Structure 1
Amino acid sequence: MKHWFKDAHFRSLLKNSSYLAVSKVVAAIAGIATLAFAGRGLGVMLFGMLVLITSYAKAASGLSKFQSWQLIVRYGGQALALGEHEDFKSSTGFAFALDVVSGIGGMIVAVMVLPFLGGWFGIPDKYLWLAMLYCTLLPTMGAATPVGVLRALDRFDLISWQGTTYPIARAVLAGIAFAAGAPFEIYVGIWFITDLGGDIYFWFLAWRELRRRGLLKGIRPTLRPTTLPGAWRFAIHVNLTSSLITAWGPIARLVVGGLLGPSAAALFRVASSLADSAQKPADFLSKAFYPEVVRMDLSTKHPWKLMLRSAAFSGMVASAAVLLLLVGGKSLVSLIFGDEFLGAYPVLMVLIIAPVIGIFSFPLPSMLYALDRPDAPLKARLIGTIVYFGLIAPLCWNFGIMGAAVAFVLAYASMGIVLALQVRAEYRRVRSKA
């Protein structure tokens, strides 16, 4: 394994992912503390309502946003690697325009349809105004353009710094609210303020870095990226894939709430949060892997070796987290959230299978994007989503919240298998031409 560290790309991957790892560890601890304060302060029912309100806004953002950071990395990252700035500026302007249009459009649609959909997702009429207010975050929610700028400029340290600020602030404010016995509306306000502040700070960091490097001049918002071949095709495929990803997060929680009620949504949220923590090493590496591999020649063996080494390294690092949850998950749920949330433990034992799959498959979508195959992750995610929504209702009706967890795992496994088959086919195609 020592020779892995002689690879400059592998060392760069570890350096950038380590920045993210530090911030995510801090953010994860702060996030768990936040959920613990809110869960103990509100109880299962009102905590579930908070989950449903925030999940609705995140679902609307995920469905409308284009994940435009991938455009900047895909086109701008390659241009910067070659010492050229124009494609970087064009991709940044295109990404910014997409963020503005999709954010405002998503906000308007989300607010307009909420009175008709709220009841389906378990949000009663008396809380609709809070959910509508939270939807006003959509124009800034996600902060995709600044993420792309900082990743393309290799400033993962700034991303790391931003990633610790708002979770800590939210944890502190939630702790104060818990100690003061604050009402439900205060907790919603805390989530709103910290989301908004975190996104604004992200935009500031990207603007400051662009100004420092003299790259601000010439960046103009545009929806006609004439100098970027295939940019719209890439953006649409990435947006559709992102929308399907949203179906597995916020929309999944909304569906569980609609089928089984706010309390079930709260337990599912707690279990999924703990299960997701085991996949954090893969998430760190994934965010650093894509900018790294997009600069490499995919007709050589080097990027493919990097892919395998990254997956193996992620598996070794994450195995400790998986083992911890398997052995001490029940005690962890009781200690952090209280006995009222112990119903999340059996759900956690099922959901833990999903991050195990994700730990080893995380490089696959990035490889396909780097190969200019944005349609491939979309197809895999679409198949997984069809499996998920085909199973979740009957499994929930028959097995309750455990059924939702089983549906999630089966869908995740389906997606992983399809991704692996597609990457294998692309490898054979590329290597046959070498």
Structure 2
Amino acid sequence: MSRKLFTKWAHSEDSLVRVFRNSSWLFSAKGVGAVLSIFYLAILTRTLGVAGFGEFMVIVGAVQVLAAILKLQTWQAVVQFGVPYLLAGQNQAFRKLSAQNFWIELIGGLVACGALWLMLPYGASQFGWSDSIKTAILGYGAIVFLSVRSTPIGILRAQDRFGGNAFGDAIVPIVRFVGAFALFLTTASMTGFLIIWGLSEFISFLVMWLMVWRRHETDHPLRDASASAANPPSRREFVAFLLFTNLAYLVNVIRERLVVVIVGLVVGPAAAGLFRLADQLANSLNRLADVFARPLFAELSRLFAIGQSRKLRALFWRSLRVSAISGGVLFIGLLLLGKNIITLISGPEYLAAFPILLLLGAATIISLSGLGLEPLLQAAGRARNALVARVSGLVALGFLMLIFLPKFGTIGAAWVMLISAILTTGMLFFSSRAAITQPKQRPSKSG
């Protein structure tokens, strides 16, 4: 009986089953990452202290914000425009699209390297970084910027090869855990941790491309012999999609990373350390959401490409119910176990992060409840609507931060994150109504 169930699970073409099946690959990687991140987070917080941990996260956050601004994420464009090519067996067109996105990502990374080199002296004067830390920051930044990881992620997802994607993702926490443990046994320092964090990005970059080169597009499992030839997107359509998806991604990174940098500048490194610890624990829920959202986007893109409007609407509402129920369960667990988790990982000196954790966890779970909204808008070619919602939430966040942060400190920043999440999710749901009831097909060109 169990074997029949497994066979049915492995070969089912039901859309939600396909999403869960692909999610299971990513969840295996994220599960490994979640377990290992607990250990290396414990090493980080206990060896660097509250202020040192805060300073380390300010550095990592600043590099990641710079990467989000200048180094374009291309995986969604590869999936959005590559899936129709693969369904139609147009492998040469898919290779050309992949190469185009590779160069877009790499050129953005080179620009980001130059920007970091120009901005580092100012940051060093503000935070008092030593020459060794500045060198480590430059090395870490260069690896993050020049590791072209988004394009191979898109290739693997477009080809429905989430197993290879999961393996590449799992490398990052594995290297960080091994490296952090080695530093713990020898001499832990901020410079050493930056070197390990950069090494994890570089090895993951190599593994991702190895996964891509293992198999050609001719083996693509979703190839449909009845599919008509796909027309290439116009330059305007491609650029607009890339722009809007990256601006939406930038908004998310600013929410997750820049706020920590601002807290560090306004309140101090110790406050930034408490805020980032709570944010990191809350983001573990967000990583679980991401596990489901990425295969959901790929499946929605496939359904749009083949014009399955009824299946698309059914998948959307089913996924929304699953994410809402999951969010409620996760928040109850956070409420009951949050203090114990903080004490176990980082020690009692970090318990002041618990109220912050509850607020940031609530913000994350509200976003989780609307998990399918943004993938639906992006797959429907309405990335502009998703961007408007994200930018509106970010504007509200910035305005309220000016009021709440100086007066209430880190708890004020956490309340602002919650209010912004409520506003953003509400706008995404409102914007999704048209896409749910009247899916807009990807425009095609004649001739």
Q: Same fold (TM over 0.5)?
A: yes
Find out whether 1:283 has 2:290 as its counterpart: yes
Q: List gaps (5 residues or longer) in structure 1.
A: 215-225
- Matched AA of 1:302: K
Find out whether 1:314 has 2:323 as its counterpart: yes
Deviations 1:9-29 (A, max 9, x none): 111111000111111011011
Among 377, 401, 408, the alignment partner of 2:386 is: 377
Find out whether 1:53 has 2:62 as its counterpart: no
- Matched AA of 2:278: A
Find out whether 1:169 has 2:175 as its counterpart: yes
Larger deviation, residues 109-118 vs 14-23 = 109-118
Match of 2:117 in 1: 111
Provide the C-alpha distance between the structure 1 equivalents of 2:213 and 2:114, rounded to a whole number of angstroms.
27
Among 244, 249, 259, the alignment partner of 1:237 is: 244
Equivalent residues of 1:281, 1:317 under 8 A apart = no
Match of 2:227 in 1: none
| Alpha-carbon distance change, 79 to 413 in structure 1, aligned in 2, over 3 angstroms | same
- Matched AA of 2:242: A
SS state of the match for residue 136, structure 1? helix
Provide the C-alpha distance between the structure 2 equivalents of 1:233 and 1:430, rounded to a whole number of angstroms.
19
Provide the C-alpha distance between the structure 2 equivalents of 1:140 and 1:402, rounded to a whole number of angstroms.
36
| Alpha-carbon distance change, 211 to 77 in structure 1, aligned in 2, over 3 angstroms | closer
* 1:333 positional shift: 0.2
Q: List gaps (5 residues or longer) in structure 2.
A: 221-230, 441-447
1:99-178 alignment, distance < 5 Å? 99-118=105-124, 122=127, 124=129, 127-141=133-147, 143-178=149-184
Match of 1:221 in 2: none
Match of 2:73 in 1: 67
Question: Alignment RMSD, CA only?
Answer: 2.4
* 1:72 positional shift: 0.6
Find out whether 1:81 has 2:90 as its counterpart: no
SS state of the match for residue 296, structure 1? helix
Equivalent residues of 1:277, 1:321 under 8 A apart = no
Equivalent residues of 1:37, 1:174 under 8 A apart = yes
Equivalent residues of 1:281, 1:314 under 8 A apart = no
Find out whether 1:337 has 2:346 as its counterpart: yes
- Matched AA of 1:419: L
Larger deviation, residues 136-145 vs 325-334 = 136-145
* 1:398 positional shift: 0.8
| Alpha-carbon distance change, 430 to 210 in structure 1, aligned in 2, over 3 angstroms | closer
Match of 1:186 in 2: 192
Provide the C-alpha distance between the structure 2 equivalents of 1:273 and 1:295, rounded to a whole number of angstroms.
33
Provide the C-alpha distance between the structure 1 equivalents of 2:144 and 2:200, rounded to a whole number of angstroms.
14
Provide the C-alpha distance between the structure 2 equivalents of 1:34 and 1:80, rounded to a whole number of angstroms.
40
Provide the C-alpha distance between the structure 2 equivalents of 1:62 and 1:269, rounded to a whole number of angstroms.
19
Equivalent residues of 1:69, 1:145 under 8 A apart = yes
| Alpha-carbon distance change, 241 to 123 in structure 1, aligned in 2, over 3 angstroms | farther
Match of 2:443 in 1: none
Q: What TM-score do the two structures reach when normalised by structure 1?
A: 0.90
Match of 1:323 in 2: 332
Equivalent residues of 2:36, 2:173 under 8 A apart = yes
Match of 1:228 in 2: 233
Among 417, 420, 423, the alignment partner of 2:426 is: 417
Deviations 1:234-269 (A, max 9, x none): 112222222222211221211111111111121111
Equivalent residues of 1:61, 1:141 under 8 A apart = no
Equivalent residues of 1:383, 1:415 under 8 A apart = yes
- Matched AA of 2:280: S
| Alpha-carbon distance change, 319 to 427 in structure 1, aligned in 2, over 3 angstroms | closer
- Number of matched pairs: 417
Deviations 1:171-209 (A, max 9, x none): 122122123342332222211212221222212222333
Equivalent residues of 1:53, 1:123 under 8 A apart = no
Larger deviation, residues 193-202 vs 145-154 = 193-202
Equivalent residues of 2:380, 2:439 under 8 A apart = no
